[in-house]
């Protein structure tokens, strides 16, 4: 099972410059895109502000990484908001569990992985390499990330 934690980058700027109605519309558009990419077999939910979580049963690390790419691509497609067009970006953290696991722990790991992906983007490394936690592994690290997570 994989949990993908999705956070919109720069969402506050949309609210601050275009207003909360535009921010709400962006969230609606993103939710629709996430749902379309996942199809009917997985679950996606908005958990807070500009954060979404996807729970994907029977998905391993490689498939989760591919899915994260597809989610980011869908989010990045232009979003018309009134007279403006937004090209949204997202950071995606992945936690993959095999066998038994604590649901709170996998969600926390996905959240931590998302923040690792956010830190990696400005450093020029590949976000997925930084943002993947496999429960049970020893260290998840990015070459350019000074703060590796220990699992």
Structure tokens at 98: 């095999």
9, 24, 42, 50: which one is catalytic? 50
Annotation marks residue 50 as catalytic: yes
CA separation (Å) from 38 to 55, 123, 125, 145?
9, 29, 26, 30
Nearest to 27 by CA among 44, 41, 2: 44
How far is the C-alpha of 124 from the C-alpha of 36, rounded, in Å? 29
Q: Name the residues annotated as catalytic.
A: 50
């Amino acid at each position: 099972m994989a949990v993908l934690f999705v956070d919109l980058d720069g969402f506050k700027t949309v609210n601050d410059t275009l207003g909360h109605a535009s921010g709400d519309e962006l969230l609606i558009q993103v939710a629709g895109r996430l749902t379309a990419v996942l199809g009917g077999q997985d679950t996606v939910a908005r958990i807070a502000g500009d954060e979404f979580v996807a729970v994907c049963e029977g998905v391993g690390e490689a498939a989760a990484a591919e899915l994260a790419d597809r989610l980011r691509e869908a989010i990045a497609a232009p979003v018309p908001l009134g007279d403006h067009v937004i090209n949204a970006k997202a950071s995606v953290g992945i936690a993959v569990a095999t066998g038994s696991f604590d649901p709170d722990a996998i969600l926390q790991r996905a959240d931590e992985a998302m923040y690792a992906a956010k830190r990696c983007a400005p450093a020029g490394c590949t976000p997925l390499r930084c943002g993947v936690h496999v429960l049970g592994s020893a260290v998840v690290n990015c070459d350019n990330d000074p703060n590796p997570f220990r699992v």
